[in-house]
Copies of this chain bind each other. A is one copy, B any other.
Amino acid sequence: MSDRIEILSTPLSVYDAEQFVVDLQAGGICVFSGNTRAETSSDGRELVALDYEAYADMALRQLNELAGRARERWPILKLAILHRTGRVAVGEPSVVIAVSCGHRAEAFEACRFLIDELKRDVAIWKKEVWKSGDATWVH
């Protein structure tokens, strides 16, 4: 069992996550990167970044538990879950998940499961930061 699960205040590397899960037994690797998307609010304000905050002790515990649930369902070789805190500019990744499995179906399903569950449950919050200077929590 080889998991890399981290909450980081520095830019995430999709490359590092993917390289971490490379394995001689892996036929399929699925990597998901969730990025801050350019957006304009209904009243014409432009989004410049998302500010992420985590209850790190809890979030890490939850992510490890989530990885364990994924391993019970799919024959995962290696997995990485990286999540940002702090300011993530438009175009930059806030979360990167990489999963390697013997076969592709399992890798896709496990990766999708991990991001869906992460978003549903894990103690992390984001605030939209607008060009105008104001900021709004997403809840």
A interface vs B, CB < 8 Å?
14-15, 18, 22-38, 90-91, 93, 102, 104, 107-108, 111-112, 115
Contacts and interface: CB of A to CB of B under 8 A. Distances in A.
A29 B27 contact: no
Contacts of A28: 32-35
A34 B102 CA distance: 10
B91 A23 contact: yes
5 contacts: A14-B15, A18-B31, A22-B91, A24-B91, A26-B35
A35 B24 CA distance: 9
A119 to B, nearest CB: 9
A116 to B, nearest CB: 8
Contacts of A112: 108
Contact of A30 (B15, B27, B30, B93): B30
Contacts of A102: 37
A84 to B, nearest CB: 14
Scoring A14, A18, A33, A107 by chain B CB atoms within 10 A of each residue's CB, the highest score goes to: A33
Contacts of A35: 22, 26-29
Contacts of A24: 37-38, 90-91
A20 to B, nearest CB: 12
